[in-house]
């Protein structure tokens, strides 16, 4: 049986808090618009700490919360769409920072769906039995990648990291993952690196997207907000329905839903379509904003610290992201 038990959680929230009013001083926006359209009141930026520093801090907190030591970790699976190195991979950087000397390392990127993908992979490794204690981390330093000339997208995102230490459980876990690459132009961020190889061109003939010309803003996050919004509501609804069907459960069986924190209206529309009451849906978007794959583990940590993750609970994680990807996991703690 594929299943997981959460042994500990941790989070790192960077120090620089930026309110909506702060943003209104540098662009045409206001607190009322941002709160009513998104539910976001403030976000935090990592002014001068790297993505892997944030990931390592969240990891150390999760390992301590689990009552373990870094050397007890057998495998690190790290999710990020904002890594600062092509290589080494983020999991290796975390391993070095925390001293998890016995761990194998894997990095994945399915953007905001990343923690769900990582947990899904982790559950399969755990079922195999090779690894006993797995650290699943998601960390995002998005502030350098958002375009502060685009008020519709930059207000949405924040930086942060969250982690969970898990082990195998005989209680069941079911998952559903999906990719819709025909919609990838709705949300992307190009690596805008000029090459110095005299034999190749910066121009990319394989995509209809504009080519790098040294001046365009492709290196910043590009988003079709309305397109992503519509996809998100449908994709989250479908992901939960498919996972419930696989599990042979109904929505009434679910104790807690932890959705990707992209926009309060997306969460409300999807959970209303699913018929899940708001009391079962955890939301912390107001003070964190959208930290991509770090949203869900950050919620998990909030709930854990509040003592709200109890043995026997059926928990549903659901999200979507660039790709466009989506997915859900239902597991019993």
Positions marked active-site: 112, 260, 290
Cβ closest to ligand UT7, residue 151 vs residue 242: 151
Among residues 58, 228, 49, the alpha carbon closest in space to that of 144 is found at: 49
In the 8-state DSSP scheme, what is residue 325?
E
Provide, rounded to whole angstroms, the least separation between the CB of residue 218 and ligand UT7: 17
Cα distances (angstroms) measured from residue 14 to each of 28, 49, 240: 25, 8, 31
Beta bridge partners of 44: 17
Cβ closest to ligand UT7, residue 28 vs residue 306: 28
First to last CA, the chain: 14
Provide, rounded to whole angstroms, the least separation between the CB of residue 60 and ligand UT7: 27
Provide, rounded to whole angstroms, the least separation between the CB of residue 79 and ligand UT7: 13
- Matching residue, tokens 């907190």: 61
- Matching residue, tokens 């109890």: 310
Provide, rounded to whole angstroms, the least separation between the CB of residue 260 and ligand UT7: 6
Among residues 92, 224, 84, the alpha carbon closest in space to that of 159 is found at: 84
For residue 330, what are the contacts with CB-CB under 8 A and spacing of at least 6? Answer: 173, 174, 175, 243, 244, 247, 249, 254, 314, 315, 316, 317
Among residues 117, 55, 41, the alpha carbon closest in space to that of 322 is found at: 117
Here the tokens at position 76 are 């690190």
Nearest-CB residue for ligand UT7: 225
Cβ closest to ligand UT7, residue 155 vs residue 239: 155
Cα distances (angstroms) measured from residue 26 to each of 90, 148, 159: 33, 9, 19
Here the tokens at position 186 are 């709705």
Provide, rounded to whole angstroms, the least separation between the CB of residue 255 and ligand UT7: 25
Provide, rounded to whole angstroms, the least separation between the CB of residue 81 and ligand UT7: 10
Contact residues toward ligand UT7 (CB under 6 A) are 29, 33-34, 37-38, 112, 151-152, 155-156, 223, 225-226, 228-229, 232, 262-263, 290, 321
Longest dimension (CA), the chain: 62
296 and 319 Cβ atoms separated by less than 8 Å: yes
Burial class (CB in 10 A: 0-12, 13-18, 19+), 320: buried
């Amino acid at each position: 049986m594929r299943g997981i038990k959460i042994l500990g959680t941790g989070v790192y929230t960077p120090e620089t808090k930026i309110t909506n009013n702060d943003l209104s001083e540098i662009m045409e926006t206001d607190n009322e618009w941002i709160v009513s359209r998104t539910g976001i009141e403030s976000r935090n930026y990592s002014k001068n700490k790297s993505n892997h520093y944030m990931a390592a801090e969240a990891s150390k907190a999760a390992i301590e919360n689990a009552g373990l030591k870094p050397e007890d970790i057998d495998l690190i699976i790290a999710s990020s769409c904002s890594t600062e190195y092509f290589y080494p991979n983020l999991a290796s950087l975390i391993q070095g920072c925390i001293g998890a000397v016995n761990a194998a390392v894997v990095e994945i990127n399915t953007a905001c769906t990343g923690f769900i993908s990582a947990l899904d992979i982790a559950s399969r490794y755990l079922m195999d039995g090779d690894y006993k204690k797995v650290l699943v981390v998601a960390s995002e330093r998005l502030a350098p990648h958002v375009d502060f000339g685009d008020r519709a997208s930059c207000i949405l995102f924040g930086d942060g990291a969250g982690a969970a230490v898990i082990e195998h459980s005989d209680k069941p876990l079911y998952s559903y993952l999906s990719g819709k690459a025909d919609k990838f132009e709705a949300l992307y961020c190009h690596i805008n690196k000029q090459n110095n190889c005299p034999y190749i061109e910066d121009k990319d003939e394989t995509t209809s997207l504009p080519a790098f010309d040294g001046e365009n803003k492709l290196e910043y996050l590009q988003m079709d907000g309305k397109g992503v919004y519509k996809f998100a509501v449908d994709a989250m609804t479908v992901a939960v329905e498919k996972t419930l069907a696989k599990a042979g459960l109904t929505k009434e069986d679910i104790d807690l839903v932890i959705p990707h924190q992209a926009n309060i209206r997306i969460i409300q529309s999807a959970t209303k379509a699913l018929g899940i009451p708001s009391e079962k849906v955890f939301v912390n978007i107001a003070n964190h904003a959208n930290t991509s794959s770090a949203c869900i583990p950050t919620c998990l940590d909030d709930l854990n610290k509040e003592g709200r993750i109890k043995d026997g609970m059926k928990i549903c994680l659901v999200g979507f992201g660039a790709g466009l990807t989506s997915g859900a996991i239902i597991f019993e703690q």
